[in-house]
């Protein structure tokens, strides 16, 4: 008998334990992540009453793959474009929380005499709240349609994205073992450079490839291609000095902008769930009870730091962003836990060998405690607000109300200049990064090949020519791109004083583009500086004057923007995109929410006029989403049908009450109804005294009287055929009849 490989035996133990514990935790209504951690503890050598994992090194490799899948899936959910959409309040609040919690974590770690790197990693671990836990808590408590819940979820989106950036910064610190400002600035600059480069090139190329290959893509090939892109990006990220998880996140963010994103997410989910379970089980395997007892006081201190720190910095951050005190406190009290990213950052520290092993079980213990108290903290927010509002001085409350409602709009001219400059700076940075990448690839890869083929002199000349030709559309975009349409002319015509600065922006960008030409020529051709400058100037003017390059540049930009908007365009076509005014309603006590009409809803089939939601419940229907069709601003005569999704706007309390009414109006399933309505097929023999003898199918009343269907007639010789409606039934015929049990019984007995 062959011996089972240790890895297979270990996987069997892990998955069986994880399966049992997740069922138990599901029954208890607790997060599955905790079930995985408990399963890992049971599989570890620290728990002596059960078998232990043999080959832990291989399990950790699988856990690393789990991190890759978790970050890839995160990228698919939270695309880079969402950073722009979350809005100013979420950005201000998220940055306040992250910097505040990192400082608090570092302070707590240092107070226990821990190493500097342990304290810094602790700050990173407690800086991020758990998206999964908070989303589940909101769902369980029926708070998803509350105004503060939308803000909290926006903060979590930004925190998840910034957590990936934080991992890169921590990795850089760990590898360099240095905290010098220059190195940190260089690392952040390198991060931004590659982030923009990969995102720009990826958004341009990958949707094109997926569209071209669409006819060849079934679910299997799409999954393989998506995972191939993911792991390819992992390798590229590792080669450029970043973590594997960062590469997976970037590729997920790129694929999130394609029309295939939801399908890829659905296909990857089972694989992610499997490897993610192994990762969280591996987290539980590192829990050492003796170490938890030894570090009981740090666990208590860090738990209090997480709960009180997130409450304080969350509330302050949301207040600073201009939200009312009640919304700020509800948001701050919702963020009082740590979750998935704490484990990932802890795992990163152990993998890099820069943190002590005691930090891992401490963070797991803190996570378990804070996750359990999350629902109670959310419920506590309103009573806490009532207490604070009663005891806070009236002057302070008035100041907070003024701060939340106050705004000072900038003048039209200033806002136009701001919009124009931000637009051209962004486009210049993007095109400059693309030009840097092209120049680097040309000088390091194309030049050696050309020199080998044509000799050094002619090879360098050919490389210079090819490089400048490839660069030319992007150089022209740097020179001439005017930002958003019409802004340049609007500012030019608005005031003669604007013209000199506008011309200056053109001249500056011309010399930035010319610098690339000069650099390429200087590296490849042996000419004097003066000659190089003249040649670069002539080539720059030629690039600027060529109309064909203008069309090429415009076509490249249009393709990129179309690819970037492809998912939005598909959502508009399918009626899944919310109106533009949705975000404006959030600043009031009104916002949009979607509700699904149950299949058995008593509202189904009725018109909006009959239902009169506005008068009865205070909600107003702005859209009806039915399959791929969207009916905006429906008429009073429009009807609601089962499985429709209606989009309504109202206040928080009205939406909450409306959601409760929808849930209560749905008829609960009755098991006996399923049994009684089950369809059966039976055989009925036409006897001598049968009421069916001599009657045709039309005369028998099988369908109208007995609600049954004749499937066929079997003759005495065994032949089965479908009769004509006028053919009479003969004695000895066997009728194959389909219907409900009670109707078949009545047919056999001859009752109506």
Segment 494-513 mean pLDDT:
82
Are the C-beta atoms of 141 and 358 separated by less than 8 Å? no
Are the C-beta atoms of 692 and 698 separated by less than 8 Å? no
Residue 580 pLDDT > 50: no
For residue 576, the model assigns a pLDDT of: 52
Segment 99-110 mean pLDDT:
90
Segment 713-736 mean pLDDT:
83
Contacts of 388 (CB under 8 A, 6+ apart): 325, 329
**Of residues 360, 369, 342, 199, the one with CA closest to residue 288:** 360
Residue 520 pLDDT > 80: yes
Question: Of 212-221, 575-584, 628-637, which range is least confident?
Answer: 575-584
Segment 558-580 mean pLDDT:
63
Query: What is the tens place of the pLDDT at every residue in 341-398?
Result: 787 788 778 777 788 878 878 888 888 788 778 888 888 888 888 888 888 887 888 7
d(CA 143, CA 644): 22
Residue 219 DSSP SS3 = helix
Segment 85-98 mean pLDDT:
79
Are the C-beta atoms of 41 and 285 separated by less than 8 Å? yes
Residue 649 pLDDT > 80: no
Residue 145 pLDDT > 70: no
Residue 586 pLDDT > 70: no
Residue 588 pLDDT > 50: no
Residue 70 tokens read as 């978790």
For residue 45, the model assigns a pLDDT of: 76
CA distances from 515 to 439, 468, 518, 523, 708 (A): 12, 12, 5, 12, 85
**DSSP code, position 483:** S
d(CA 311, CA 356): 28
Residue 483 pLDDT > 80: no
CA distances from 660 to 73, 97, 635 (A): 32, 33, 25
Model confidence band, residue 312 (pLDDT cutoffs 50, 70, 90): very high
Residues forming a β-bridge with 630 = 625
Residues 352, 353, 354, 355, Cα dihedral to 10°:
110
d(CA 43, CA 275): 16
d(CA 670, CA 675): 9
Residue 195 pLDDT > 60: yes
Question: Of 68-77, 530-539, 566-575, which range is least confident?
Answer: 566-575
Residue 5 DSSP SS3 = coil
Is the pLDDT higher at 193 or at 51? 193
Q: Whole-number mean pLDDT of the chain? A: 79
Query: What is the tens place of the pLDDT at every residue in 257-278?
Result: 887 888 888 888 888 888 888 8
Contacts of 378 (CB under 8 A, 6+ apart): 137, 138, 141, 143, 330, 333, 334
Query: Which region, left, alpha or beta, applies to residue 130 given φ > 0 means left and ψ of -120 to 50 means alpha?
Result: beta
Model confidence band, residue 408 (pLDDT cutoffs 50, 70, 90): very low
The listed range with the strongest mean pLDDT (188-197, 295-304, 317-326, 699-708) is 295-304
**Of residues 325, 309, 354, the one with CA closest to residue 99:** 309
Query: What is the tens place of the pLDDT at every residue in 279-299?
Result: 778 777 777 778 778 888 888
Residue 234 pLDDT > 80: yes
For residue 304, the model assigns a pLDDT of: 92
Say if residue 154 is exposed, middle or buried (CB neighbours under 10 Å; 0-12, 13-18, 19+).
Answer: buried
φ, ψ of residue 78 in degrees (nearest 5) = -115, 85
d(CA 281, CA 268): 20
Residue 178 pLDDT > 70: no
Q: 468: how many CB neighbours lie within 10 A of its CB? A: 20
Segment 147-161 mean pLDDT:
77
For residue 308, the model assigns a pLDDT of: 92
For residue 27, the model assigns a pLDDT of: 83
Residue 620 DSSP SS3 = strand
Residues of the chain with pLDDT > 70, as a percent, come to: 86
Segment 140-167 mean pLDDT:
75
d(CA 103, CA 214): 49
Are the C-beta atoms of 344 and 70 separated by less than 8 Å? yes
Segment 683-704 mean pLDDT:
83
CA distances from 199 to 39, 219, 238 (A): 38, 25, 16
**Of residues 189, 185, 147, 157, the one with CA closest to residue 91:** 157
For residue 117, the model assigns a pLDDT of: 85
Residue 437 tokens read as 């990448």
d(CA 62, CA 56): 10
For residue 628, the model assigns a pLDDT of: 66
For residue 528, the model assigns a pLDDT of: 82
Q: 581: how many CB neighbours lie within 10 A of its CB? A: 10
**Of residues 130, 133, 132, 111, the one with CA closest to residue 122:** 111
Angle between helices 32-43 and 6-28 (to 10 degrees): 140
């Amino acid at each position: 008998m062959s011996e089972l490989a240790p890895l297979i035996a270990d996987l069997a133990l892990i998955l069986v334990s994880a399966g049992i514990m997740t069922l138990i935790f599901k029954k208890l209504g607790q997060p599955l992540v905790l079930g995985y951690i408990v399963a890992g503890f049971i599989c570890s050598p620290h728990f002596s009453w059960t078998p232990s994992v043999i080959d832990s090194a291989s399990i950790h490799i699988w856990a690393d793959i789990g991190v890759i899948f978790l970050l890839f899936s995160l990228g698919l959910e939270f695309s880079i474009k969402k950073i722009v959409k979350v809005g100013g309040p979420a950005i201000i609040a998220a940055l306040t929380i992250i910097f505040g919690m990192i400082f608090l974590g570092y302070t707590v770690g240092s107070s226990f005499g821990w190493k500097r790197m342990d304290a810094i990693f602790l700050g990173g671990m407690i800086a991020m709240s758990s998206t999964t836990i908070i989303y589940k808590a909101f769902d369980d408590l029926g708070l998803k349609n509350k105004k503060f819940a939308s803000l909290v979820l926006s903060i979590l989106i930004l925190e998840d994205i910034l957590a990936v950036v934080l991992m890169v910064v921590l990795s850089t610190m760990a590898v360099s073992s240095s905290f010098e400002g220059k190195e940190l600035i260089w690392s952040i600059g390198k991060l931004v450079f590659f982030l923009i480069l990969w995102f720009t090139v990826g958004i341009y190329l990958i949707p094109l490839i997926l569209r071209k290959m669409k006819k060849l893509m079934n679910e299997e090939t799409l999954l393989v291609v998506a995972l191939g892109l993911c792991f390819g990006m992992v390798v590229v990220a590792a080669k450029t000095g970043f973590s594997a998880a960062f590469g997976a996140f970037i590729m997920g963010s790129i694929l999130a902008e394609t029309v295939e994103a939801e399908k890829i997410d659905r296909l990857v989910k089972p694989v992610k769930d499997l490897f993610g379970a192994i990762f969280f089980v591996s987290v539980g395997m590192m829990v050492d009870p003796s170490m938890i007892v030894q570090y009981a006081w740090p666990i208590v201190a860090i738990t209090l730091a997480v709960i009180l720190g997130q409450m304080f910095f969350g509330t302050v951050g949301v207040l600073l962003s201009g939200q009312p005190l009640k919304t700020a406190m509800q948001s701050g009290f919702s963020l009082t836990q740590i979750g998935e990213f704490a484990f990932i950052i802890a795992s990163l520290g152990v993998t890099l060998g820069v943190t002590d092993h005691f930090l891992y079980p401490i963070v797991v213990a803190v996570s378990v405690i804070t996750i359990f108290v999350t629902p109670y903290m959310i419920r506590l927010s309103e009573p806490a607000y009532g207490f604070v509002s009663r005891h806070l001085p009236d002057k302070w409350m008035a100041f907070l109300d003024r701060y939340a409602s106050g705004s000072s709009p900038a003048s039209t001219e200033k806002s136009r200049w701001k919009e124009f400059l931000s637009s051209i700076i962004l486009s210049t940075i993007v095109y400059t990064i693309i030009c840097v990448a092209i120049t680097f690839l040309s000088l390091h890869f194309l030049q050696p090949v050309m020199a080998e083929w044509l000799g050094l002199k002619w090879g360098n000349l050919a490389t210079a020519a090819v490089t400048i030709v490839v660069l030319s559309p992007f150089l022209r975009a740097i020179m001439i791109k005017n930002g958003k349409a019409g802004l340049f002319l609007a500012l030019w015509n608005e005031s003669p004083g604007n013209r000199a600065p506008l011309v200056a922006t053109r001249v500056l960008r011309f010399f930035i583009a010319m610098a690339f030409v000069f650099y390429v020529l200087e590296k490849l051709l042996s000419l004097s500086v003066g000659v190089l400058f003249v040649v670069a100037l002539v080539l720059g003017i030629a690039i600027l004057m060529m109309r064909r390059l203008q069309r090429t540049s415009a076509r490249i930009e249009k393709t990129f923007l179309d690819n970037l908007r492809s998912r939005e365009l598909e959502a508009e076509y399918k009626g899944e995109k919310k109106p533009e005014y949705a975000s404006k309603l959030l600043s009031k006590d009104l916002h949009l929410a979607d509700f699904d009409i149950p299949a058995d809803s008593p509202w189904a089939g009725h018109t909006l006029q009959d239902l009169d939601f506005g008068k009865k419940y205070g909600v107003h229907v702005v859209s009806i989403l039915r399959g791929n069709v969207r009916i905006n601003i429906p008429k009073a005569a429009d009807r609601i049908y089962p499985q429709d999704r209606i989009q309504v706007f109202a206040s928080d309390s009205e939406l909450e009450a409306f959601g409760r009414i929808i849930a209560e109006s749905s008829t609960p399933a009755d098991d006996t109804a399923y049994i009684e309505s089950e369809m059966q097929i039976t055989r009925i023999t036409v006897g001598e005294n049968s009421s069916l003898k001599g009657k045709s199918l039309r005369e028998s009343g099988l369908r109208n009287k007995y609600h049954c269907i004749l499937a066929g007639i079997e003759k005495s010789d065994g032949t089965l055929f479908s009769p004509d409606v006028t053919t009479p039934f003969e004695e000895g015929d066997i009728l194959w009849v389909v219907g409900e049990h009670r109707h078949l019984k009545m047919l056999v007995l001859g009752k109506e």
